[in-house]
A = this chain, B = another copy of it.
């Protein structure tokens, strides 16, 4: 994409309304714009990041054996009355009356609806286990929306639901998603730590929150140093393995939010205990028959007997993750995208747009990188070098490839890694080889 044509309204000044760094940087980098309190439009740059995160979430759900469907945003109140949650949700639920005076609502979550779909479709134990998920916009009418996409009202969530014949099978489904979550966050370049959690309005017996570490995180967390050393993508078992040993081991490593951590009774010596800050990005629940019972999700068992299915639900805040990644990875100059979620891999900076030599080399590099499937943001604007460097640092593309008239004379370009600020002068061919390696 050429920046001269890109719809990328960056801001030089820090917007007053933004209290946290991800909100400030998303506004300044032209990723989002607020359209109402707590409701945002995703501009092209922000949408690209959102889609990359969504894709990684989807790939791990698919790999875990969950099947994607898509439920609508607007739900009938009737279903929520059947589960008994219509009143529980209070004013956070956006209630709507349609033209025929039917009570509807904008879904804050989908336990009721998926149970309804399941009960009408699945009749036999032979069709279990089944895990279904969707990635859909939700609405929670927060009394005081703030922190940009971290606590918005309309937000994108991945929610999965598991259906099993008995508690032992449900535990396996839970462990499967536990692994999927650890893998998902690791692939996003985040260090996520599962913490035993209260089940809140979802209800249930077993629950974990996934909290990612970020210096500017919203809450304090404490954990065993061993969590920092765990490399999930290297060390964890794979889908389909018996996950019980890994689950037992992982949930045995100490981790607690500051609300639950008591220094007086901490099981760890001080040098083994890490104190950090974190952001909740996922929450998983096993709640047995809490919804299947009132809604009648019953299958015929092996001997024809009716069995009320055991359920769990598993949420990831997809739009929230965009902010969370920034909280975990930025510096004073702007965002530092992990490679896996970067909107572009390479930012190509032409230090003197209009100069025949730099223009020609830039266009050549631009086409060669694109031809190899590398996404490039090409700053071809008529701007000062300082403004271009500042914008590229703000946007946080992992690699910057800088072409200027002086380097051109000696046959070199500059390749800079955004995260480390490491710079190398090298020939255009060597730079290409490095980027395409």
A residues contacting B by CB (< 8 A) are 5-7, 9, 30, 33, 35-37, 39-44, 46-47, 50, 65, 67-76, 91-92, 94, 96, 98-99, 102, 104, 106, 113, 116-117, 120-122, 130, 132, 137, 139, 141, 143, 153-154
18 A-B Cβ contacts within 8 A?
A7-B130, A9-B122, A35-B72, A35-B113, A35-B116, A35-B117, A36-B72, A36-B76, A39-B74, A42-B69, A44-B67, A46-B69, A47-B70, A72-B137, A72-B154, A74-B139, A92-B99, A137-B137
**With A74-B94, A74-B154 already in contact, 12 other A-B pairs whose C-beta atoms are closer than 8 Å:** A6-B67, A7-B67, A35-B116, A36-B74, A36-B75, A36-B104, A37-B102, A39-B72, A41-B72, A46-B69, A74-B106, A106-B106
In the bound complex, CA of A37 to CA of B99 (Å): 12
Question: Inside 8 A of A130's CB, which chain B residues have their CB?
Answer: 7
| Chain A contact residues: helix, strand, loop or mixed | mixed
Question: Inside 8 A of A30's CB, which chain B residues have their CB?
Answer: 121
Copies of this chain per assembly = 2
Closest to A156 in B: B70
**A37, A98, A132, A153, most chain B CB atoms within 10 A:** A98
The minimal Cβ–Cβ distance linking A7 to chain B, given in whole angstroms, is 5
In the bound complex, CA of A76 to CA of B41 (Å): 13
Question: Inside 8 A of A68's CB, which chain B residues have their CB?
Answer: 44, 47
Question: Inside 8 A of A42's CB, which chain B residues have their CB?
Answer: 69-71
In the bound complex, CA of A104 to CA of B139 (Å): 13
Q: Which of B72, B94, B116 contacts A98 (CB 8 A)?
A: B94
CB atoms of A91 and B99 under 8 A apart: yes
CB atoms of A141 and B72 under 8 A apart: no
